[in-house]
């Protein structure tokens, strides 16, 4: 499957806030991938590819940023726990 290129404008103040020694495009790709992963819309492997890094590097980066490595829907978790008893 061919990737799709998406272009959009980012306000200057956002770019300035992100530019603390980081690649702005990579930062936005990581943020979008992580949002979709945590929302349960994509798998961790897809999120890593979207972020442009390997799965292990993605996991390490989540940990470095103190973000949850496991995307859990609280309602699904309650259902699972409720059916276990």
Structural domains of the chain, count? 1
Q: pLDDT at position 20, please? A: 65
Rounded to whole angstroms, the Cα distance separating 61 from 57 reads 6
Whether pTM > 0.85 for this model: the answer is no
Residue range(s) defining the domain that contains residue 24: 12-83
The arithmetic mean of pLDDT across residues 16-21, rounded, is 73
Burial bucket for residue 82 (CB in 10 Å: 0-12, 13-18, 19+): exposed
Does residue 49 lie in a domain region?
yes
Does residue 35 lie in a domain region?
yes
Residue 64 has pLDDT above 90, yes or no: yes
- The larger pLDDT score, comparing residue 8 to residue 71, is at 8
Q: What percent of the chain has pLDDT over 70?
A: 92
Residue 84 has pLDDT above 70, yes or no: no
Does residue 7 lie in a domain region?
no
Does residue 4 lie in a domain region?
no
Q: pLDDT at position 85, please? A: 62
Length of the chain, please?
Answer: 85
């Amino acid at each position: 499957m061919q990737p799709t290129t998406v272009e959009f404008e980012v306000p200057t103040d956002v770019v300035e806030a992100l530019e603390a020694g980081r690649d702005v495009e990579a930062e936005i790709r990581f943020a979008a991938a992580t949002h979709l992963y945590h929302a349960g819309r994509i798998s961790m492997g897809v999120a890593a590819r979207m972020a442009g890094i390997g799965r292990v590097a993605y996991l390490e980066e989540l940990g470095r940023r103190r973000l949850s490595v496991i995307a859990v829907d609280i309602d699904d978790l309650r259902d699972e726990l409720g059916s276990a008893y």
